Structure 1
Amino acid sequence: MKAFRTLHRSILLLFLVVTVAIVTLVHFSITQIVAEQSRAQQQSLSPAFSLITSELMKPLHTAQALGQSKELMELMDKPKLDKEKTVAMLDRLEQEFNLTFFVASENERIQYMSDGLVVDLVEGDVSWYFKYKDMPQNAVADIGKWEDAHFYIDIKIFNEQNEFLGFFGVGKSLKSFLQIFSTYKQQYGYDFIFADEQGDIMLSSDARLMARYSRFTNMSELSWYASLPKKVQNSRALNNRLVTINQQEYLIAEVNLNQFGWTVYLLSPLDKRQTEISQAFIASVITLLVIVFALFLTVYHLLSYFRKDMHKDVVLPHHARLPDRNQVNDDYKNLMRAYHSLSIILVDIDHFSVINDTYGRSIGDEVYHHILSYLQDNLRSKDIIGRWSSEEFILLLPEIGPHEAFEIAESLREGISNLRPVERALQIKLTASFGISYTATPRTISEVTSHAEDALYQARRDGCNLVRMQLIN
């Protein structure tokens, strides 16, 4: 009888090995496909980033650099500007950089353009100057000169006594943007939309959406945008969202231009055939997994009698094996001395007290260590994981910036939500909430973790199984 049981155990073990091999193979195949798709998407987005850099960031940096020149400050600090000298300088800059330049003097209340145009800055007639003068930002992007609409970057100029002297800026015709956008659309197939914080469209590859005579098209006026849920519209979180425009599906990529307070939406058309193939492949994989799982259950029940005397020896690490708060504090100091910057992530097991109260502390311990094991397996060797409370972990990630930390936390959150349940409580759905903060300057751990705790509280308040971040101002 003992030999008979051993035989059946061997069969079961062999079956498990085969099942794991099949699942691993399927997982590897999916991973490779996703990786290829990600690389293809990354390659398609690279030209977009190059466009943003060359057409928007380069003029901004040019204006900022020239705005610091001693020649410009001395010119604008005079009670009355030398018109010929000013226009000559602006014309020289236009020839050198192929951009429109202007100077708006606070002392004279006159604007000089590189094309020789001179405009009196009269309040009530010229609105932009007085509106932007009172704003706290030192750099403002706007659309103006409606007879030949231009994109402008206005830089505030101050003298050595920090007195406001006026604006220096660069401009570029919207027609040139349309030509560039048209070239990119023909070559790569995607559309651009640049929207400000109010949702007004500042630039677009669709000429019909460009501003005319000081009237801007708002995102809410677009039919595909208006069809999105109100929650999505209010949060303006469109990244990786699929929308339908003129019966064509588009995938949206979202890039924030913090320098202007703008958001860039990149609309990439999806190939329908590729989508269908991907869906068919996923359906096949799911079918295969269902069949394998059903076969495993069948064999498992057939051999259950012979496995009655088999006991799984489980050795769970004790809570004390994780660094406590004192040890984490020492680790934090050491990491800051060695790397000078790190991200902190607090991880809270959702509804852990309810699990303990409902199923008992024994099940709670299994849940705790199940999630702990997953976190440990998905961290780098130089990362630190410690206990922060009875149901919270703290992760110290050196040389990881806030946005990368957010991606790591999102990956961990998704991984935990997909973990298999503990064997004695299959009905428990495992999830966790994450709070992130970051520092690149010497600060106490309590100062950094207080922001992470606020972010974690926000994640809980928003419904759990979420990632939130709060940076130190």
Structure 2
Amino acid sequence: MNIFRTLHRSILILFAVVVVSILALAHISISKIVAEQSRAQQQSHSPALKLITEQLMRPLHISQTLAQAQELKQIMANPQDREQDIFAMLARLNKEFDLNFFIASEINRVQYDSKGRKLELIEGKVDWYFRYKAQPETAMADIGQWQNPQFYIDLKIFDEKGKFLGVFGVGKSLKGFTEVFGQYKNTFGYDFIFVDQNKDITLTSDIELLVQGATFKNLANLPWFQALDEQQQSQSLNNLLLPIKGQESLIAELNIQPFDWTLYLITPLESRQTEISRGFMFSIVTLLVVIFGLFLLIYNLLYYFKKDMQKIKQIDILTELSNRSNMNLKFDELMYEKQSVSLVLVNLDNFKPINETHGRKAGDIVLRQVAQMLQSEVRNSDYLGRWSGEEFIILMPNTGPHEAVDVCQGLCKKLSAMTITTGTTSIQITASFGVSFTAIPRPISEVVSAADDALFTAKRDGRNMVKMQLIKAD
């Protein structure tokens, strides 16, 4: 509940910041330009916010979020045997987000896409992959597939050890962009030009400047840009007034940082509107930057909130150990890595009388102190969690059953030597241990069942002891 209150409070604060920012920018704009013309121009430019957010930022943030998923990294770490899983995942993402997704695997040098197609990544034939792999950037926006041009966002994927697994990306047909740009131009009369770091024109509302075949048109080839002197060409073009196609036009420049692109918003003006539009364009670009910054802030807040929620779901609140669900996940990870595992169930002896005699509060204190003791004594390579009421579970990777029994014997002795103080009462506690082992991948239920049988034997034979039950060979 505290996290929900914090999130609610943070969103209210951010909302207040957004409102104050917009009001402040509106006040500055009104103080500089005529009120009626300012409002009219604001209404005509407001679709630019939606255009950039929906057409560019939405695919970016979708791809960045999905790139963090463990499912994606696990599939890319072992693609040879999981091609059906890869295609199923990509098709599901395509259906959910209405975008084209692809995975380019470094391990088997194959590209998979959401349409169910495979393409071998052969050096000299698939230029983009090897060119991007050699670059230091971990994220890149590009135009590809010249027969049906697509806008791509490519993200390099690495495993936890920093090993390069390949590229995960999202694509969107340029037809959708040109339709949106065309509608915007017809309604408001303004042109967009997006250029990359090489000044190549990647996206534009001017059909004459779109990518032709496999060739980009460059900003340096445009007549109005060529008319500038060398110093002007090397500097920012923001608020520059130029004759373009026979009309006086004001240029607004905005850096789209995630892509290292630059947006030029070209506004045709009449002479008497120049000063008014100059002030207005400055306000609009500032507003774009502020809203974009706040958008990223809200996005990161929700991202960290999600991480906190996931962490809470994996922790037992009373003992602060991993809960049953999390221990299931850890066991599955060990099986996926094909590690041998000794599994130990630890059940406190005669715990019910403690609750009946001293109360549940005392029982909670016992559980917490036993959890702390076990946590301090288990090896660094082991995983400890709470399995049920008075029962704990220990996973010991790469540990044989006899070695696990020796470790548990030590834990059993230390538990029996503990004295737990609950207020004015001192309580002695013992525990029974059931040990099982698997050297091959198995369901956790099968290994727990064998450990449970061993635990039953320990209880039956007098408690406060360690018993082992191996799984019978199939």
TM-score for the superposition, normalised by structure 1: 0.50
For the pair shown, the structure with the greater C-alpha radius of gyration is: 2
